[in-house]
Every structure is written in structure tokens, then in C-alpha cells.
């Protein structure tokens, strides 16, 4: 199923439809401020396993991130971090960054992994943030990749729908996506270590 949602003014009816799919253990594809993502409710283990299968990942080794509505959600899933890190988060989020934190005890229970870190995203995109807000907890996210060696990420929602319609429960058309992923920043040591240069330019905020 393909549903068109406009980012400037997301239709509450369609947001509720996406949330309903997630609550029933479904998997959805949605726009972010970078590339299109595939995800599910973080509290549904079977749905997480489905996302990993679709993406060809092993659940116990996968680097799945959480999409949160805002900074208030983050502290549940991360170990405490210092105010210098928090100040940078306030400046950069919502934005095209994934921050890697030391995970709280909540995270391994949710993902059934032995991973001690968690990636957190707060994308600057009203569609996915409204879905998370309405759902009441974060969603697990992974990027939609392209099989093409040159084009790394799929950007056309109609083509994404053609490719994934039999694998997922809902594809949200939020317009063309970007083909540059988020900048991944490791803050587990209290320093800012860039693991992947992407759309976000961290130096501007430091």
C-alpha cells in the first residue's frame, strides 16, 4: 500500500493509519530528512526480525537506530551523558545526524542483542516525527539501500513501493528522498567522533 503524505501539513488520518500498522506489528517505509527508511515499533520483536530479514541483517549484529520524536525520549535508551554533548544535541536535532550512545539496560531487552551501544535519530521531517509522537515510542530504523553500485540509496517513493510492496505493509510517499545518508557521530567516549560523513556537517555546531 502506498500513501501520499505532505510534510508541511501531514494529514492526521494518514499518520494514524501508519501508527495502526506499526501497532499491529507491521513494517513501514517512510521519508526522513536524508534517505528513505524502513522500520517498525521498537517494542515488537517479530517486526524487528522482519526488518532485519528484509535488509539482510542478523538481528544480534545489526546496527539499527531508533527514531525519536525529540530529545526527551533519548534518556530512556542511553546511559547518562554530559552537558557538553547535550548542548550539541540541542543544536543539531532535529537534523541529519545519527548519534551513537552507550545503551541503557532498556535497549538490549528491546533488541535482544548484546550490543552496548544505540544509534539515535531525530530527523528534521514532520511525517516520521508525527508517526513516532502518535505511536508513543520510537521506531527502529534502517536505510533503504539500492542494489545499484553507483546509486547507493533509492530516492523515488513509487519505485521503492514497486520493489518493496510485497515485503512491507505500508510505503509512505513523502516526495523524493535524498541520496546522502545521515552523518554518524560516536559520542560514547564523551568526545565527538565522526564514523560516517553524511548530510550533516557537525563542525558547524561544535
Please state the rounded mean pLDDT for residues 173-181: 93
pLDDT per residue over 158-172, tens digit each?
999 999 999 999 999
* Model pTM score: 0.93
92, 200 Cβ separation under 8 angstroms: yes
Q: Which residues contact 151 (CB under 8 A, 6 or more apart)?
A: 179
Compute the chain's Rg from CA coordinates. Answer: 16
* Per-residue pLDDT at 110: 77
Lowest mean pLDDT among 89-93, 106-110, 145-149, 153-157: 145-149
* Per-residue pLDDT at 79: 94
199, 178 Cβ separation under 8 angstroms: yes
* Per-residue pLDDT at 149: 59
Average pLDDT of the chain?
91
* Per-residue pLDDT at 197: 94
* Per-residue pLDDT at 151: 63
Map out the domains of the chain with their CATH numbers.
2-196 (3.90.870.10)
pLDDT per residue over 106-135, tens digit each?
887 777 677 789 999 999 999 999 999 999
* Per-residue pLDDT at 57: 85
What secondary structure, in 3-state letters, does 40-66 show?
EECCCHHHHHHHHHHHCCCCCCCCCEE
Question: What does each C-alpha distance from 79 to 72, 102, 166 come to in angstroms?
Answer: 14, 6, 38
Q: Positive or negative CA dihedral for 18, 23, 24, 26?
A: positive
Coil, strand or helix at 23: helix
* Per-residue pLDDT at 63: 76
Coil, strand or helix at 29: strand
pLDDT per residue over 37-88, tens digit each?
999 999 999 999 999 999 988 877 777 899 999 998 888 899 999 999 999 9
Amino acid at each position: 500500500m502506498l500513501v501520499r503524505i505532505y510534510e508541511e501539513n501531514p494529514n492526521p488520518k494518514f499518520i494514524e493509519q501508519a501508527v495502526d500498522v506499526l501497532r499491529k506489528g507491521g513494517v513501514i517505509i517512510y521519508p526522513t530528512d536524508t534517505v528513505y527508511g524502513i522500520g517498525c515499533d521498537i517494542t515488537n520483536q517479530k517486526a524487528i526480525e522482519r526488518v532485519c530479514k528484509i535488509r539482510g541483517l542478523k538481528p544480534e549484529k545489526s546496527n539499527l537506530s531508533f527514531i525519536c520524536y525529540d530529545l526527551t525520549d533519548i534518556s530512556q535508551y542511553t546511559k547518562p551523558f554530559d552537558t557538553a554533548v547535550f548542548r550539541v544535541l540541542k543544536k543539531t536535532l532535529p537534523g541529519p545526524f545519527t548519534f551513537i550512545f552507550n545503551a541503557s539496560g532498556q535497549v538490549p531487552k528491546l533488541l535482544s542483542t548484546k550490543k552496548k551501544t544505540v544509534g539515535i535519530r531525530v530527523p528534521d521531517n514532520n511525517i516520521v516525527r508525527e508517526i513516532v509522537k502518535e505511536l508513543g515510542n520510537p521506531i527502529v530504523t534502517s536505510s533503504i539501500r539500492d542494489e545499484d553500485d553507483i546509486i547507493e540509496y533509492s530516492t523515488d517513493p513509487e519505485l521503492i513501493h514497486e520493489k518493496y510492496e510485497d515485503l512491507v505493509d505500508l510505503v509512505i510517499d513523502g516526495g523524493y528522498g535524498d541520496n546522502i545518508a545521515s552523518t554518524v557521530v560516536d559520542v560514547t567516549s564523551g568526545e565527538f567522533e565522526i564514523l560516517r560523513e553524511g548530510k550533516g556537517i557537525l563542525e558547524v555546531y561544535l
